[in-house]
Structure 1
Amino acid sequence: MVERLQGKKVVGLKQTIKALKTGNCKKLYIAKDSDDNIRENIEGLAMESSIEVIYIDTMKELGRLCGIQVGAVAAATV
């Protein structure tokens, strides 16, 4: 179980996609309850770069792990 994302991170769909496309992503975190199309798109980008994907049960939980008060579809450590 992930307690909290440590180190430098990006939070949110746009910032996470940007980190994946620029090669700055070390680990990818995706909320399981996010939209299927969005999740599949991000997973595809991660597979292209051989980035480890960690699934978090809900967007609310992922937001909490990132230290924000709202839900997050995706986040990445950079």
Structure 2
Amino acid sequence: MMLSMLKDAKKVVGTKQAKRAVINDKAKIVFVAKDADRHVVDDLIKMCEEKSIEIVYVDSMKELGSACGIELKAASAAILKE
């Protein structure tokens, strides 16, 4: 599954950092939690669609956070280009 890629990949966690990665053309894949507040992730989703960056939806913020190796919930994360 795609989530397992997050463990070892070079990544950023959090919507603010993911947006910055997208703006700077550094994001390869963006993960978004389905239960994240829409107003938090909507801009990020739009930016990814405009730049044709793959979006992977994860069931919960808790699941995304643990996939990233943090104990906090995460609304979004991005795997960075090498």
TM-score band, normalised by the shorter chain? over 0.9
- Counterpart of 2:51 in structure 1 is 49
Question: Percent identity at matched positions?
Answer: 41
Unaligned segments of structure 1, at least 5 residues: none
Decide whether the 8 Å contact of 1:9 with 1:75 is kept in 2.
yes
Decide whether the 8 Å contact of 1:4 with 1:66 is kept in 2.
no
**TM-score, scaled to structure 1:** 0.93
Which runs of structure 1 show a deviation greater than 6 angstroms over 4 or more consecutive aligned residues?
Answer: none
Q: Distance in 2 between matches of 1:11 and 1:39?
A: 13
Count of residues paired in the alignment: 78
- Counterpart of 1:74 in structure 2 is 76
Q: CA RMSD in A?
A: 1.1
**TM-score, scaled to structure 2:** 0.88
- Counterpart of 1:65 in structure 2 is 67
- Counterpart of 2:11 in structure 1 is 9
1:11 alignment partner AA: V
Q: CA deviation at 1:7?
A: 1.4
Decide whether the 8 Å contact of 2:33 with 2:58 is kept in 1.
yes
Q: Distance in 2 between matches of 1:13 and 1:54?
A: 14
Q: CA deviation at 1:39?
A: 2.2
Q: Distance in 1 between matches of 2:5 and 2:28?
A: 16
Unaligned segments of structure 2, at least 5 residues: none
